[in-house]
Each structure stands twice: as structure tokens, then as C-alpha cells.
Amino acid sequence: MIWSVSKHKAFRRCQRQWFYSSIYKSHASKDQRRYNAYLLSKLQSIYAWRGSIVDKIISEEVIWPLNRGVLPKQGKALEKAKEYFEAQLEFAQSHTLFGSRIRPSDHENFAALFPFEYGEIISEEDLAKAWDDISTAIKNFYSQEALILQLSKAIKLIPQRALSYQYYGQTVRAVPDLIAFFLNQGPLIVDWKVHTFGTTDAWFQLGCYAIAIVRCNSHKDFPSKSRINAEEVDLIEVQLLKNQQRIYRLNTEDINKIGGRIAQSIDQMNLVLGDIPRKELQPIDFLVTKYPSNCKTCSFRMLCWENEQWQELKQISFL
């Protein structure tokens, strides 16, 4: 079992949703239901999709050139974002996932949007708003002059790197948006957020990243060979639509609190899994959410509601 912040949140929201996304889905299975679960796990809301495009642009079109001391022009970044937006939108409109054998890795512009898969209408206004948010987020990134200057002084910038370590007998996985290494100071971890309201802070998520970078095996391209501790890691949450930053640093109490929270979450997951072999577990073995409204945005709704037992829940969810 792999533990991550996103899986932790899914488990708290709905145990069955967590099971579909963490245990049941399989990209290599000949069982169409398990492959369906894998494909449905790729679905994004319009809001999540706009954020993924912003992440892609910053990671691939800005950060990698910045490693060479070159900051691409804002206009070029926006132009590339528009290309991704239009190409991915076209793909999502033209393909449905359920029952297919589509391989996402075979398609450069793969995107899967929840409304299209579930037959919902996306208005032109919604799409225009999504593009406007992407444009605003990228422009606000470029307005973060102090942060960009700080990043330009790093000896290595590594975006979207998976960090894993063993904890409580399980693998803990974290994927920070950006890790910046410096010559004479601890690393910096940056998390880009594209949230309309930005009212919830990402302290726990960033704290997990700080612990992961300390406990994971050093990657070959990590420049620092010296041992660091989590208290030395600078953490910045950047709310790109609000053009605001939240800066964090952990202390010993924070580290213990986060570690305890992860351990408790792992224990709860192991408890519901029990001793039954993973391949024998079925979705019906897991509890569904207490809040039917959660079903409205669940990617696995199509699988979950195949069972007639949940038709009543389906009706309640859309009241």
C-alpha cells in the first residue's frame, strides 16, 4: 500500500473511492472493471484541469529553462498554455474512457474531464473562465519577482519529483511541485495552488513534503550530499489566483504531529483492508461516504452505482 496526502484525503471522504483509486484500479489488468477504474482515476474537474495545465507550464516551460539561467518570456508561456488548453480540450471532448482500452501514455495531449465522461454540459462561459484563470495564474507567477529571483539563485531546480520512504511498514509518497537546492542553505519546497478562494492552507501537505525530502533515499541528481533535517526546509504555498504566499517552517512539535497523523491514517487504512489478499477485495467490502453530495464529483460513480443496492443513494445525491 502507498500512502500519500491525496490518498489520505480520499480515505476520509469515502473509503470506497479510496479503494477504487488506491487498491482496485490497474493499468495492466485484463479485467475491464479494474482497467475502467484506472481510466476513471484520470478524470479531472474543470478546476483541477486548469491547475494541471498551470503546473505543466511552470514545470516544463519555465523551471527547466530557469535551471540554465534563462527565464522564458511571459508571452511565450501563455502561448504554450493556450496550445495545451486547446489540444487537451479537443482530446477530452473526443474520447470517453469507460469500457475502452485507451492508454493515456500513448497520447501526448491526453486529458479526461469529468463532465464529458458523465454527459454533463460545459458551457462556453465555463471554458472561458477556465482559460482566464490559467492566464491569471501564469501572469501572477511572473509577478512573483522576489520568488523568481530566489529560484534563479538555486544550484538545482527539480519539479514534480516523487519522493518515497518507508514508514509504519508502508510506502509514503510525496510529489512536491518544486524543490530548489541551494549552496549554503537548506532546500526550498514550493507548492503552486490554483484555487479560486484559497482559504485552506496547505501546511500539512507541505509538512509531509519536508519530511519526505529528509527521509527519502537521495536521488542521483540531488546536489546536496549532506544530511538535512526537516526544520531546515523552507516551505512556500503560492496561491496563484490570489497572488499570495504562505510561508511555513516546521519545528519538532510539527514533525511529531505530522508523523503521528500519517501513522494513524496508515493504521486506519490497514484496519479496513484486513488480512484478505488484495486481489480478493471487492468494492462492496468498503463503506461509502456519509455525504451523498460527495458522489456528484466522484470519478468512480459509474462503477459504484452499477450495483442496484446504491440506486437509492444515487437518487439522494441529485436531489
Going by DSSP bridges, is the β-strand pair 234-239/188-193 parallel, antiparallel, or unpaired?
parallel
Tens digit of each residue's pLDDT (9 = 90 or more) over 14-61: 999 999 999 999 999 999 999 999 999 999 999 999 999 999 999 999
| Pairwise CA distance, residues 178 & 55, whole Å | 10
Q: Is the pLDDT of residue 224 over 70?
A: no
Tens digit of each residue's pLDDT (9 = 90 or more) over 61-113: 999 999 999 999 999 999 999 999 999 999 999 999 999 999 999 999 999 99
Per DSSP, the residues of 26-69 read -SS-S-HHHHHHHHHTT-B-HHHHHHHHHHHIIIIIIIHHHHTT
Tens digit of each residue's pLDDT (9 = 90 or more) over 192-219: 999 876 557 799 999 999 999 999 988 8
- Look at residue 198 in the predicted model and tell me its pLDDT: 58
| Rounded (5°) CA angle 236-184-256 | 50
* Contact call for residues 91 and 117 (beta carbons, < 8 A): no
Q: Is the pLDDT of residue 308 over 60?
A: no
Tens digit of each residue's pLDDT (9 = 90 or more) over 249-306: 999 999 999 999 999 999 999 999 999 998 899 999 999 999 988 998 999 998 998 7
| Pairwise CA distance, residues 209 & 189, whole Å | 8
Q: Is the pLDDT of residue 312 over 60?
A: no
Closest to 141 measured CA to CA, from 53, 211, 222: 53
Q: Is the pLDDT of residue 225 over 70?
A: no
| Pairwise CA distance, residues 79 & 280, whole Å | 49
- Look at residue 121 in the predicted model and tell me its pLDDT: 87
- Look at residue 196 in the predicted model and tell me its pLDDT: 78
How many alpha carbons lie under 13 Å from residue 77 in its C-beta half-sphere? 28
Q: Delineate the domains of the chain, giving CATH numbers in brackets.
A: 15-143 (no CATH), 145-275 (3.40.1350)
Tens digit of each residue's pLDDT (9 = 90 or more) over 123-167: 999 999 999 999 999 999 999 999 999 999 999 999 999 999 999
Take residue 30 and report the three cell numbers written for it.
485484463
- Look at residue 305 in the predicted model and tell me its pLDDT: 83
Q: Is 207 exposed, middle or buried (0-12, 13-18, 19+ CB in 10 A)?
A: buried
pTM of the model: 0.91
